[in-house]
Amino acid sequence: MPIRFKCACGKALVARDEQAGKRTKCPACQQPIVIPAPPAPAPASDELRLALAEEPEKHYCPNCNAELAPDAVVCARCGYDLQTGEVPGKKAKKAPLAAFPLGKAIAAAVVLAALAAGWFFVVAPMFSGAKLNSAYAYFVEGQLDRALREFEALRSGASARDRETLDLWISQVKLEQTTNTGETLSQGREVNSKDLDFSVDRHGQSGGALLYKIMVRNLGQAPLRVRLGYFYVRGIGPLKPPADDHADNTLVDVTVGPGQSRDGVLAFRGVPAQPVIRATTGPPVTYYYISFNDGVRYVKRFFPF
């Protein structure tokens, strides 16, 4: 703004702001003069200055909400660039929808794989074993026709290992049905084979089981395989297989050469509920019998238990 002042002679003079402090002459009296500094602007009232001090204009970081200096370009706290909107050293976040389905898919795949493995290695074998045991129970109870139907129904969907077991049981049931019938069953008559023979002797008790010593003789020309599942004790009705988990069993899986003999022990947990009652010259005697049945050969030995 212009500087307005008066010369000593009383003449009113005007100068520019940039001429303040310079020496010149008064155009009226030609006396030297110094152009004074411009007057300071009138200050605001005390009330106005107090209001400005109490309510300054503030700025805040849009990323971390920290207070910013009036001339700030970058947030001092988080490094947020107010011009570009970026935070140095921080990677951009992926869209949630891009990551969520992938994680869910992986988790679902893991769960499905675990369920499939559990079914294949645990549940399926248990389920298959339960069905086999249920079918074999009919054989043990003496319901041979029902047992045969169950075995044949299970065979088509069985694994190779279970099919081998079912084939043995099917052939065993058929031999029992055709060989041990009529008076052979009711009177306890023995059944012989040209290929093998065996004898039985009482061997005591152990762990709640009856132990019997069995001598097997191979009368054939080929090696004879002897397995635990080939033997069972029977009366008129139900039968008793050996206790397959008993520690005293020794005829578990052995091979007897042609013309040779092999002895061992079998443990039976009790005897069937319906024995054979055989009348002799004296009082009637209660008998059971033990059979060797490998699906090809059937030998039955009758003796008192």
CA 191, chain centre distance (Å):
52
With the C-alpha atoms ordered 46, 49, 50, 51, is the resulting torsion angle positive or negative? Answer: positive
Note the pLDDT of residue 116. Answer: 57
Extents of the domains making up the chain: 8-34, 59-88, 128-179, 193-303
Closest CA to 144 of 238, 226, 48: 238
Closest CA to 234 of 187, 202, 179, 271: 271
Note the pLDDT of residue 44. Answer: 54
Do the bridges between strand 276-278 and strand 224-227 make them parallel or antiparallel, or are there none, so unpaired? unpaired
The residue behind tokens 């899986």 is: 253
Q: How far apart are CA 203 and CA 303, in angstroms?
A: 14
Which residues of the chain, if any, have pLDDT below 50? Answer: 47-54, 92, 95, 97-98, 100, 119-120, 123-124
Q: How far apart are CA 81 and CA 4, in angstroms?
A: 49
- If you classify domain 193-303 with CATH, what class do you get? mainly beta
Q: How far apart are CA 210 and CA 231, in angstroms?
A: 14
Cβ-in-10-Å burial (0-12, 13-18, 19+) of 57 comes to exposed
Distances (CA, A) of 203 to 95, 214, 222: 79, 9, 30
Q: Rg for the chain (alpha carbons), in Å? A: 55
Q: How far apart are CA 290 and CA 48, in angstroms?
A: 120
DSSP E strand stretches across the chain: 3-6, 12-15, 23-25, 32-34, 59-60, 67-68, 196-206, 209-218, 224-227, 231-234, 239-240, 253-256, 261-268, 276-278, 285-293, 298-303
Closest CA to 226 of 176, 296, 171, 162: 296
Predicted TM-score (pTM) of this structure? 0.58
* E strand or H helix at 104: helix 96-118
Note the pLDDT of residue 217. Answer: 97
